[in-house]
Amino acid sequence: MEKRFASLRQLDRHGSEQIRVYPNHQADDYPAHWHMKYEIILPVEESYSAEVDNRRYEILPGEVLIIPSGVVHEIFAPDQGLRYIIMVNHEVIYATEGLGGMQHLFYPCVHLRPGQGMPENAVEYLWQAIREHADKNLLAQAAVTAWVRLFLIHVGRALFRSNAENQSEHRHQMNGSFLDIYAYITEHCSEKLTLEGVAAYSGYSKYHFSRIFKEHTGMSFYDFYLRQRLLLCRQLLSEMSLPITEVASRSGFGSLATFNRVFKQYEGVTPTQYRQLWQQRQVRVPHDTPPDDK
């Protein structure tokens, strides 16, 4: 069967709903692209392949791949088969207490496999969301959001526990307090945070906090802080009515020049170019295109 890219135009047509569920059976490959939303892939019939961060993932039926927002990826479909694609707005992540501060654990992607770190009942939560979406009963969208949120909570817990697996008992006891620290940084990422200030908030000395923070996250405090700020930038840039200067201000950058420089350094394009790419993909979707397939 000849591969085609027609359904690529469906990628970001989600209306006002926080979560959209797409039954997808098209034999379409998706060239390198990214979303402003989290993408959850659940194959049902036949495997589905994705390349993320120069690594190829073969997703078998019963497995799940989670690709966070802003991550460039390619997808390769078999000639036949069915899979569900669930697109999740950032609002769902940030509205779930503690989850926003754990986003770094999801990058560049998460491949969940039975018996290999997949939380118990995780796939069933997604199936509950899919059934609610299909039945369209009263409060169906609220139920879909609740089931997907529950899925993400359990995955976040599993990732956090896995990250702490080889820690000492003392560090294991500190994990709960670090969830609060992650949430604090995420909530205040548009403000001017300092290592000294957050260390004081956490109750640790500056040097002790710096060391154990990197052990817990795999990155320095400032790298984590900047990552959370850039996630906020991406979200704000998707709001087309906001001027770039307003995005820079709301995300905590002191000047437009600094915003442009830092954003391009980490994202590879300027904020204006990033928004243009986003807008081009939005406007090329015909208004009468039914959003049934990705």
Using the structure block, give the residue that is written with the tokens 């015909």: 286
What per-residue confidence (pLDDT) applies to 281?
A: 56
Terminal Cα-to-Cα distance of the chain (whole angstroms): 18
Q: Residue 134, SS3?
A: helix
For 195, the token pair is 């290592």
What per-residue confidence (pLDDT) applies to 7?
A: 41
Are the C-beta atoms of residues 172 and 164 closer than 8 Å to each other?
A: yes
Buried b (16+ CB within 10 A) or exposed e, 255-269: eeeebbebbeeebee
Q: How many angstroms separate the CA atoms of 65 and 210, rounded?
A: 32
Average pLDDT of 84-111? 85
Question: For the segment 218-230, what is each residue's pLDDT rounded down to a tens digit?
Answer: 788 998 888 888 8
User: What totals of helices (H) and strands (E) does the chain contain, helices first?
Assistant: 10, 9
Q: Which of 274, 182, 279, 262 has the alpha carbon at shortest distance from 234?
A: 274
Mean pLDDT, rounded, of the chain: 82
Query: Which of 67-71, 180-184, 213-217 has the lowest average pLDDT?
Result: 213-217
Average pLDDT of 283-289? 35
What per-residue confidence (pLDDT) applies to 8?
A: 40
The class that CATH gives domain 6-163 is mainly beta
What per-residue confidence (pLDDT) applies to 259?
A: 92
Question: For the segment 108-132, what is each residue's pLDDT rounded down to a tens digit?
Answer: 899 999 988 899 899 999 999 999 9
What per-residue confidence (pLDDT) applies to 87?
A: 94
What per-residue confidence (pLDDT) applies to 31?
A: 86
Cα distances from 116 to residues 63, 110, 143, in angstroms, run 10, 12, 28
Q: Where are the domains of the chain?
A: 6-163, 169-281
Say which CATH topology domain 169-281 has: Arc Repressor Mutant, subunit A (1.10.10)
Average pLDDT of 47-69? 94
Sign of the CA dihedral with 251 first, then 253, 256, and 261 last: negative
Cβ-based neighbour number of residue 276 at 10 Å: 12
